[in-house]
A and B are shown apart, each in its own frame.
Chain A
Amino acid sequence: MMRLFILCALLWSSVARAETMKMAVTTSFHNSGLADILLPEIQGDIGLEVQLLVVGTGQALRLGEAGDVDAILVHSKAAEDAFVAAGYGTHRREIMYNDFVFVGPSDDPAAIVGADTAAAALAQIADAQTDFVSRGDDSGTHKKELSLWGAAGFDAATLGAWYKEVGAGMGASLNTASSLNAYIIADRASWLNFGNKRDLALLFAGDPVLFNQYAYLPVNPEKHPHVKTDAVAALETWLTGDVANALIDGYQIEGETLFVFNAK
């Protein structure tokens, strides 16, 4: 028994931590790998340990509403505006953007490679009734996908059995698409970092409607007094500064630039 207690005491004898704050971010941001570049720099520059909760946009907003995180970094403008309007966030600060891409079987049965717009590409997929994987998890990417279906004149809820809502994160959804050899909409960063591509290929990108704006939202200390306001402000200053600018614009995977810094 005594030995167990000693073992336990040893396990718990960790050193005191630097200042920390919690930030909810989207899976797509985390899967891009950019966080692994930025976080050590933040710790080095301003001595702040940012703990990331990697969740969908929907859950990130809920975490902010409940006060379980100090700030959120997400990409779903309408939901973000509502978040600030309801008083959960102090303001919305745009940081950078990346873009969504259409991924699908390399032989492209719906022939979306030559499509003019994202809406046209979706219409062709719907015509061909080829398998399509949807995140279905109320995330920013999912919301984006739903708005694209709407723009193409479809109601996603009424599509056939070929439309598969998996209710999972970006990575898990890509795994499903890869197994089914199905079409899917992903953010470019997650796609490039994805390790299980098999027969999938990037088929369509570039429509401006696919641009994906990331914004930083501090949680309102009037609602949640325990929020670490100073750390949140320091992080915002850093994220919108020159160092972040250079790091974000310079981040590449396989020679491709993923994010464009556009903080003002």
Chain B
Amino acid sequence: MNEIWAGLQAAFWLVARLDPDLVEITLRSLQVSVTALIIASAIALPFGTWLAIRRFRYRRATIAVLNALMGLPPVVVGLIVYLLLSRSGPFGVMGLLFTPTAMIMAQVIIITPLIASITHQAMRELWAEYHDLLISLNTSNRQRIGTLIFDGRRALLTAALAGFGRAIGEVGAIMIVGGNIDHATRVLTTAIALETGKGDFALALGLGFVLIALAMIVNFAIHVLSRTEREGRW
């Protein structure tokens, strides 16, 4: 109990004096996870929607694989990305290992199946509702996907936020591919792991509270920015 209290105090002081290290790693956490989220969404939202509207031979198998990929262990993703990006790996010449770019790649792999799967679930219902109309209007596949994404944007926002939550809280993969380098690839979660390793639970917990607060602020900010709460009258 003492340690939790000390953690709260540590969090308060870190934020109150805008600790420059804290600001830096917080911004980097955002930089990595928001970028990963945008890339993953650009892939997963159309793909999940496409899965909802298309009937093809291996559709059920594809959905089963997608759902299985949702449970990909981040550590394994990290290890594979690490081996691919290592100088002695196939993409080594790009020199991406231990950079934020590598961390983004790992997070994209981890959250894309999650976002695509939630998207597919949500879009299936909307497609059932719109099916007859969109067929009648002779829409192309592209128009169908566009319409469903636009009209289902609230559900998709939920999907994206779930992806963001998983990305910003992830530590196993980015520790391996990022290396937790101070001033280069250290983010909130890897800093927490580091401080825990040093036995400095108060600071680790303080960073943890900052992370939780950040996740909540981002959720709230995205809801406000997209004005979903006001438009949520459908």
Q: Quick one: given A8-B34, A12-B31, are A3 and B225 in contact (CB under 8 Å)?
A: yes
Our pick among A27, A52, A66, A170 for the contact of B181 (Cβ within 8 Å) is A52
Is A215's beta carbon under 8 Å from chain B?
no
In the assembled complex, which residues on chain B have CB atoms less than 8 Å from the CB atom of A169? 197
| Contact segment of B65-73, B115-123, B125-133, B198-206 | B198-206
Is B87's beta carbon under 8 Å from chain A?
yes
Is A7's beta carbon under 8 Å from chain B?
yes
Is B76's beta carbon under 8 Å from chain A?
no
Main secondary structure of the interface of B (DSSP, over half): loop
- Which of B183, B196, B198 has the largest count of A CB atoms less than 10 A from its CB? B198
In the assembled complex, which residues on chain A have CB atoms less than 8 Å from the CB atom of B87? 66-68, 224, 226
B64-96 interface (Cβ within 8 A of A): 86-89, 92, 95
Q: How distant is the Cα of A178 from the Cα of B196 in the complex, in angstroms?
A: 13
Report the minimum CB–CB distance from A25 to chain B (whole Å): 11
Q: How large is the interface on B (under 10, 10 to 19, 20 to 34, 35 or more residues)?
A: 20 to 34
Is A165's beta carbon under 8 Å from chain B?
no
- Which of B31, B89, B201 has the largest count of A CB atoms less than 10 A from its CB? B31
| Contact segment of A94-102, A126-134, A189-197, A230-238 | A189-197
- Which of A3, A66, A172 has the largest count of B CB atoms less than 10 A from its CB? A66
Binding site for B on A (CB under 8 A): 3-5, 7-8, 11-12, 20, 22, 27, 31, 39, 49, 51-55, 65-68, 169-172, 174-175, 178, 193-197, 224, 226
Binding site for A on B (CB under 8 A): 27, 30-31, 34-35, 38, 86-89, 92, 95, 97-98, 179-184, 194, 196-201, 225
